[in-house]
Amino acid sequence: MIAYLIRRLLLFIPMAMGMVVVTFGLLLIIPGDPASVLLGQEASPEAIERLRDSLGLNDPWYVRLWDYFASLLSGDLGTSIFQNQPVATIILGRLGATIELAIAALVIATVLGLAMGVVSAMRQGSIIDTITMIFAQLGVSMPVYWLSLLLMLAFAVQLGWLPAIGRGMPLPEAFWAAITGRPQALIESLSHLLLPALALSATPAAIISRLTRTSMLEMLREDFVRTAYAKGLRRPRVIIRHVLRNALLPVLSVIGLRFGMLLGGAVLTESIFAWPGLGQLTITAISQRDLPLIQGIVLTFALIFALVNLLVDLLYAAVDPRVRLG
Amino acid sequence: MKKLLLSTTALLFALAIGPAFAQETIVVGTDVDAGTLDSRLTRDTTAYRVADLIYSGLVHITPQLEVVPDLAESWETPDPQTFIFKLRDGLKFSDGTPLTADDVVYTYTTLLNPDFNAPMRTLYTPIQSVEKVDDLTVKFSLDAPYAPLLSYLDLGIVPQELAEGGHDIATQPVGAGPMKLTSWNRGAEIALEANPEYWGGAPQIEKVTLKIIPDNSARAQAFEAGDLDVIQSPLSPQDISRLAGDDRFGNAIMPGLGVTYINFNTKDPLLSDPKMRQAFSMLVDQQTIVSDIYQDVDKVASSVLLPSSWAYSPDIKQPTFNIEGAVALFNELGWTDSNGDGILDKDGNKLTVTLATHSEDPNRVQTIEFLQTMFSQAGVDAKTQITDWPSFSTNYVQKSQHQIALLGWLNIVDPDRLLFSQLTTGGSTNWGGYSNPKVDELLQKGRSSLDQQERAAAYQEAAKILAEELPYFIVSYQGYQLFYDKELPTEVTATPRGYLRGLIGMEN
């Protein structure tokens, strides 16, 4: 088990190197360089050239790539061209917000998705089933961008129940504040979190509900279910202990994969709700061609993605006795 | 349970009345985070606006673009190439250290150093030297007379001692303006508070927070939901008409200091003849673009001079929309539809042209697509090329690879700012390669004369030539909009530059 873990973690190194090279290549191909963005329209060509030189943009690509690897090995992600701060500092300052949003969205999506999936499977063909599946269809097909604006219009502008934009105190701190007697901090944090998390959860909730439904329906027809009923077990027990537990296996891996997708979805949601996370940062970094920052963000996303996948594999082994890691 | 309900109610009540106490904070919505808050290096609208609050310059520019004293109490020009500024007595930075002539000299010397990479350096290059005469007197010597200089001397003065001592002015700015930075949560908000050390006394409003909301529609919605007290350009035209009709909000809708224009590449064989550029200009239906795409937020432009400028003259007119006229002109130049395929041709070549703009501004993209249709109605085979700003600017327009490009210029506080580097022969931003000795001479005269009437005459004469030769076709004068909650405790004054001193109880 430990050997497996170590092997998986070591595998991350070549993967990360691959990511760096691919990102680097893409950034070489796309036109436009940070020097001219940094200096603006009014700068003279000489000024731009001078800045290119001092940023090292005029060096051959292999020199730049090598420099980047060399600094990576010494644990340095470089310095953002535009913010003039270490990339690691910038990313760490934003990472919490994105993870908080992604986890909140995943929790909402899992609860909603499982509930809808189970109910519609149990009542297959009923009106509830139809309604739930219409919702699921909508959830998959609605663009996050549009849904976000719609939610904001309804709950912030029209009803005025929730704040339209921004983030409260980070959740862990807010929980602590609530314990130490300032519950309003927690309420504020949650009220800021709710809309973006809801918008972000729509697609994964829809996918999880459809998958749960299919998987449940399959299990319900299995022999062991009939056996369970024949043994005289009650329906709730059969559903929960036998059907659901087995039906959840494929759902689990999808939930894990979805977490990675959520990071992507967060890019749009964050810039609409002014959520100060990595997604918003990504858009800015790309539009400014802030090369070290883009590299850093891609690496961070890759690392998170890999860790979540590893976690899912471990969970899989824990839930499904047929899976052995080694 | 009852107890819980009661306390929840009390809590909600406390939350509901919360904002009443925070009345002295004004929350402003903005579209981008500032890159740096070093006044010498600012390069985005948010940074300009925040720097204007944190720093003070020698002079201040009013909404009418008049130059009035700020840190400098007075100034004199013994000859057209010398400016001598007298500083106010007892000036202090927000950290309490005194501001003297040394700080002014330091600010301008570093700005002019090419290795400092200041984006606006070109505007100041006619400055030969900046010297300290005594603690309260600074002398600027110029290479040549340079009239627009005063309009640019609102540049914020930075503290020499701190900056040289390794303090990071870019992230922890210290200035002598009406407000000072309290916190900067990157990508989320910039918080400022009143600076009691400001020479004019602390402003009426104690706190200003700028919240960064990149999406235009989301920002307008957050304003309507009450999360923001103030929003300003850039805004979507649809949002502007909705907000203007809402009586909860006050507004200031005025001409801005920017233009949207067509840059013709005069070095392109197809476009080197001014008559060709005239014909293409006549295909630009400015009225439809302004009313349907910009919802009348911007105004139809008639020349390179802004209507708000002292140099403006209504008599100077670029060609106006006239498809038949354009086709007649094309025919005159030898472009006819000889094979009846609906596209003009000459010597067996089709009349093909590429229209380009950048993807960040949906209104510009729409304008280009609209132009494509108008061009094809006149028998021009127009292709479009739309890429993001870095690709569009660096690798395309700035390398003079374009034919017809739609873009803009901002902050035109003086006609020189839109014309000199852009349209004199070999100018640093003359991407279309335009060259006319007469225009060079007039633009040189415009910047070197210190007499405003003489300057206006030079610019008007140049504008007349430009309206015929058309290296630039100015499509629209950009508008500026500011919306604010009517409950704000201060009287709001707006400036087309979008600066915020008019929100905190100061004269703008």
Three-state SS string over B410-464 comes to CCCCCHHHHHHHHHCCCCCCCCCCCCCHHHHHHHHHHHHCCCHHHHHHHHHHHHH
Fold adopted by B258-478: Dipeptide-binding Protein; domain 3 (3.10.105)
Would the CB atoms of B211 and A166 count as touching at under 8 Å? Answer: yes
Count structural domains, chain A.
1
What is the predicted pLDDT for the residue at B22? Answer: 40
Would the CB atoms of B213 and A30 count as touching at under 8 Å? Answer: no
Domain with CATH 3.10.105.10 in chain B: 258-478
What is the predicted pLDDT for the residue at B284? Answer: 96
List helix spans (H) across B291-406: 323-332, 362-377, 389-392
Q: What DSSP character marks residue B22?
A: G
Contact B107, B158 (CB under 8 A): yes
Instruction: Classify residue A257: in a domain, yes or no.
Output: yes
* Helix H or strand E encompassing B124: helix B121-124
**Count of residues in chain B:** 508
Q: Is B382 exposed, middle or buried (0-12, 13-18, 19+ CB in 10 A)?
A: buried
Compute, in degrees rounded to 10, the torsion defined by CA atoms B238, B239, B245, B247. Answer: 180
Domain with CATH 3.90.76.10 in chain B: 25-186+486-503
What secondary structure does DSSP assign to A12-23, as a single string?
A: HHHHHHHHHHHH
Residue A164 one-letter amino acid: A
- Cβ-Cβ contacts under 8 Å, B170 against chain A: 84
Which residue of B lies nearest to A51 if distances are taken between CA atoms?
A: B117
Contact B184, A112 (CB under 8 A): no
Contact B267, B400 (CB under 8 A): yes
Q: Are strands B349-350 and B299-300 parallel, antiparallel or unpaired?
A: unpaired
Instruction: Classify residue A213: in a domain, yes or no.
Output: yes
Instruction: Classify residue A70: in a domain, yes or no.
Output: no
CATH number reported for the structural domain that contains residue A166 in this entry: 1.10.3720.10
- Chain B nearest-CA distance from A288, in A, is 7
| pTM, entire model | 0.83
* Helix H or strand E encompassing A292: helix A291-319
Q: What is the mean pLDDT of residues A160-168?
A: 85
Contact B213, B205 (CB under 8 A): no
Percent of chain B whose pLDDT exceeds 70: 95
Q: Which of B119, B212, B219 sits opposite A39 (nearest CB)?
A: B119
pLDDT tier at A303, thresholds 50, 70, 90: confident
Is the complex ipTM higher than 0.90? no
Which residue of A lies nearest to B221 if distances are taken between CA atoms?
A: A157
User: Domain B25-186+486-503 sits in which CATH superfamily?
Assistant: Dipeptide-binding Protein; Domain 1 (3.90.76.10)
* Helix H or strand E encompassing A131: helix A127-141
Other CB atoms within a 10 A radius of the CB of residue B2 amount to: 6
The per-residue pLDDT for range B145-184, each reduced to its tens digit, is 999 999 999 999 999 999 999 899 999 999 999 999 999 9
Q: State which residues form the domain around A254.
A: 96-282
Would the CB atoms of A165 and B227 count as touching at under 8 Å? Answer: yes
Q: Helix A278-288 vs helix A291-319: angle between axes, to the nearest 10 degrees?
A: 150
In the A/B pair of chains, how many CB contacts fall below 8 A? Answer: 159
Q: Nearest CA to A166 among B401, B372, B30, B418?
A: B30
- Chain A nearest-CA distance from B391, in A, is 4
Contact B106, B163 (CB under 8 A): yes
Strand partners, B407: B261
Other CB atoms within a 10 A radius of the CB of residue A179 amount to: 10
- Cβ-Cβ contacts under 8 Å, B186 against chain A: 83, 90, 93-94, 276
B43 has a chain A CB within 8 A of its CB: yes
Q: What DSSP character marks residue A55?
A: H
pLDDT at residue B73 greater than cutoff 90: yes
The per-residue pLDDT for range A104-140, each reduced to its tens digit, is 999 999 999 989 998 898 888 889 889 888 988 888 8
B361 has a chain A CB within 8 A of its CB: no
Which residue of B lies nearest to A167 if distances are taken between CA atoms?
A: B188
pLDDT at residue B222 greater than cutoff 50: yes
Would the CB atoms of B117 and A163 count as touching at under 8 Å? Answer: no
